[in-house]
Structures are given as C-alpha cells and as structure tokens.
Amino acid sequence: MDSLRDMVLVSARERAAAGVWRDVATLLEPRVRADCGLTEEAVLYAEAILYLGEERRARELLRRVLAAPESTTRDPSMHRRAANMLGVASFALGDLDEAQSALTTALELATRDDDPALLAKATNNLGAIANLRGRHQDALWHYRLALPTLQRVGDRRRLAQAYHNIGITFRDTGALEESDEHERRAIEYATESGDVRLAAMGRVGRAELALRRGDAALAETTARLARDEFERIGDPLNEADALRLVGSACGAQQRYEPALEAFDRALGLAHERGHAIAEAETLRDRVSLWLALGERARAREDARRAMEIFGRLGAVAEREKLEGLSLD
C-alpha cells in the first residue's frame, strides 16, 4: 500500500513539473479526501486546483491543513509552501489582507529555514499586491529582490512570472518600452521551461501594450490566441483576462457586438470563480464601450461596481480614475 502511495505521489510530482495540473488533481483527489492533514499530497492537490481556477476550494483546503495541530512541526517545507499558496489563492479572490498575512508568514518561514526559492516566490507575490494597491516602486523592489535568487536556483518558471509582473508594473506607470522588454523576457523564460500558461500570459501583456500603442487589430489577434490556450489548459482566471482584452480591442475598432460578447464572457468567468480583480478590471474597461455606445446609465453602473471592488481591494488609484470620469 505504501509503495502504491509512493508511486502515485511520484507520478503526481512529474505531472506537476510538466504543468499537467488536471492529471495531478485526478491522481491526488482520492487521497486528499481521506487525509486533510498537512501532507505533500494535500499541498500538491491544492496547487493543482489553484492552477485550474478553483481558488475557493484551494483556499478552504489550505486553511484546513494549516490549522491542523501538527502543521508547524510535521513538515516545515510543506507548511511554508501551503502558506505561500494560501496567499496566492486569497489574492485571486480579492482578499488582499489574508493574502498579505499568508505571504508574509511564508516569507518569514522561508527566511528562517533558508529556503531561497520560496523566499523569492513569496517576495514576488507580495510585489503583485503592492502593484495592485498603486505602490509601484515597492512592487519593483520586491520583484528585483526575487530575481537574483531565482536566477541562482535556475527557476525559469518563476523568472518568467517575475518578469511578467515587472512588465505589468512598468505598463501601469506608462513605461511601455520597458514593459515590452520584460514581457519578451517572460515569454523567453516560459518557453525555455515549457510553461505554456506563462508564455500565454506574457503574450497577453504584449497584446495590452499593442492596444495602448494604437494597434487594436494586433492586440485582438494576440489576445484571442492566448485565450484559446488558456481555455485548452483550463485556466479560467487568465482566460477572463484575455477576453477582457479582446473586448477592449474590438471596442477600439468600433466592433461593438463582439466587444460586448467578450466582456460578457469575461465577467461570467470572473464572477463564477470569485476572481474579484479580474471582475473589477473587466467592468472598468467596459465603461469605455458603454460610453461609445451612448449608454451612460450602464457606464455608471459598471463604474460603480468596479469602484466598489477596487475600494475593497485597496486599489485607490484605480478607483480614483473611475471617479474622475464624467458619466452624468
């Protein structure tokens, strides 16, 4: 029985390394149902369903395993991994206070236990919170702190994530050339590591840059290709983000019907999964489309809903942008 368990765990590890998260979830689900303690199976299963867009279930499981009496002593490496993933799940669900607390705990544990890889991951994730809340220099500091460690341990996947995050921050500050350079680096590292998800995320980042530079057709084509990739691998969070960009690009080309369709699909995915950030950003971007169509009441409603979510997230700058629009 123990040998069978070991074989299943080895197989799950191999599939996780390849990013085949559906297989990981299928292999480990029966074992997690039988044992909700802090085990490698439970943490790996939580990671799998997290990548598959089941953040609510992942968060519930991670809360349970971290609350187990033996969680701090049974396996310290699993404990700090679980804390980091709890932060990631809470971030996607818009609970930034829990995310900040969990990631800070993961960072402290990684520092204490000399785990440079996890230290870099937690630092990178804390940077994403800082960026969302408009603290762009703090975000860049976190990312640049993570990069040397990730380079030293040779973690190309996490390097791709870090460069993508830096690209987002530069884009948010209007530094489009720097943003594009970092998105290119993100795609290179993702491709080298065989991570199609991260490569597609980098392409969405470059598509958003194309839209800001006035090439809406290129932005739409690139975002649609990325959206198809996210649907294929089962990543509803990033699929919604790609659809949001498709909507914005179609709107910029005055193709309003496909724009509305893309926005509706993005909102459906985000709302169903509880992805608060994706929902707020999609509502924000749809405001411009309603205004172009002369639908000011609908524009006001989307702006109101987006401001409510951004306010809850502490994204003050995003809320203030919407407050500054003339929607009466």
Domains and CATH numbers, the chain: 1-114 (1.25.40.10), 116-194 (1.25.40.10)
Q: What is the pLDDT of residues 84-95, one digit of tens each?
A: 999 999 999 999
pLDDT of residue 35: 62
Which of 276, 271, 214, 211 is closest to 245 using CA atoms? 211
Task: Measure Cα distances from 110 to 13, 117, 122 in Å.
Answer: 21, 8, 9
> pTM to 2 decimals?
0.88
Per-residue pLDDT band for 36 (boundaries 50, 70, 90) equals: low
Q: Is the pLDDT score of 268 beyond 90?
A: yes
- Nearest-angstrom CA–CA distance, 316 and 307: 9
Q: What is the mean pLDDT of residues 214-241?
A: 95
- Nearest-angstrom CA–CA distance, 114 and 177: 36
| Percentage, residues of the chain above pLDDT 90 | 69
What single-letter amino acid sits at 316?
Answer: V
Classify the C-alpha dihedral 37-39-42-43 as positive or negative: positive
pLDDT of residue 1: 42
- Nearest-angstrom CA–CA distance, 129 and 108: 17
pLDDT of residue 218: 97
CA torsion, ordered 254, 324, 131, 135, to nearest 10 deg:
150
Tokens for 238, please give them.
């990033």
Task: Measure Cα distances from 232 to 2, 227, 236 in Å.
Answer: 34, 9, 10
Q: Is the pLDDT score of 73 beyond 90?
A: no
pLDDT of residue 70: 63
pLDDT of residue 304: 95
- Nearest-angstrom CA–CA distance, 241 and 270: 9
